[in-house]
Amino acid sequence: MSKWGSDRLERKSQRAIRVEALDTVEGRSGSMAIPSVQTSSNKDVHSLVSVIEELGNPFGEESLDLVALHTKEIASPSAAETVRNTKSIGQDQFQTFTRERLMEGTKPVDAVLHRNKLKVFSASISSKGSKRKEQLASLKHDVSLFSQLYIGCQTRDGNLEEFFRHENQACPPALSDGGSFCLCTKSDLLACLGDLSVAQTEAPPATSVVLDGAAVLQMLKPEAAKKFEEYAQEVFISYMSTKLQTASRLDLVFDRYVADSLKCTARAKREEGVRRRVVDSATIAGNWQNFLRVDSNKTELFKFLSDALLT
């Protein structure tokens, strides 16, 4: 009798769940009949379609970059790899959870589940360690190394003056800082070169002008331009047109960023920026200097502006 009663009660609960689900579906379909809901839904659909049309078909993307549709930001390779492996990461953790808590019993069911802390767009910029901690670790290593060498030198009756003549580090501290070259301040050279040059208040007449493209971009801020297309037409090309008013030839030279170069070492010490896709409809980053810190951004921007200048 108790079994029959439990079966009857279970059938009633299932029937109640089905009725509640039907009411929910009917409520949703009824809410869609409201004009304001339809307008909001159509607006969202059109906004999504317009963003996809601006960037192109996302399913036809041939590159391996992970791009945000609304900001055109490109995630770091580690973040893109994490997104590709999200499913396998979740499956592995689920199997581990089932094996340890339900099958083997090595952990209690209510054991704490730690966060994965996967890298995404907001965490794509790597944080650098404290310089003070790096210097302290280097000093501790030097103290340990010199103490061992000093004791060994005394044990073998070595010459201490000869001992201190040799460099005991991979990177000489006089020329490097944390494994990188010590960089000077360029403005310090002005005091030495000031007496060797004559100041000119007016530019001499010239028929040919050669401009440093990277320096021009550092000088020309976007200001009112919101899109890269607006920046190319209203800011960059307008500035180039003023130069052609006094010269018959204009040469624009852009930088090339070679990986194994001294200049690349200098750029690596600066603050990192966010990689962003440069297209006509892409929104310009709020921090222009931060955008120009990324070599890939500048390379893509150079090509974009060159094509816009030639068309």
Q: What is the pLDDT of residues 103-151, one digit of tens each?
A: 998 989 888 888 887 777 655 455 556 778 877 887 888 888 878 877 8
Residue 161 lies in a domain: yes
Residue 3 lies in a domain: no
Kindly state whether residues 58 and 113 are assigned to the same domain.
yes
Residue 162's domain spans which residues? 131-187
Kindly state whether residues 45 and 119 are assigned to the same domain.
yes
Residue 193 lies in a domain: no
Kindly state whether residues 254 and 283 are assigned to the same domain.
yes
Residue 17 has pLDDT above 50, yes or no: no
Residue 48 has pLDDT above 90, yes or no: no
Domain endpoint, select from 74, 101, 123: 123
Mean pLDDT of the chain: 78
Residue 88, CA distances (Å) to 15, 84, 102, 187 in order: 37, 9, 20, 53
Kindly state whether residues 179 and 228 are assigned to the same domain.
no
Beta-sheet pairing, 73-74 with 275-276 = antiparallel
The pLDDT score that the predictor gives to residue 203 is 76
Kindly state whether residues 117 and 57 are assigned to the same domain.
yes
Does the reported pTM lie above 0.85? no
> Strand ranges (DSSP E) for 21-78?
73-74
Domain endpoint, select from 97, 123, 149: 123
In the chain, the number of structural domains is 3
Kindly state whether residues 53 and 97 are assigned to the same domain.
yes
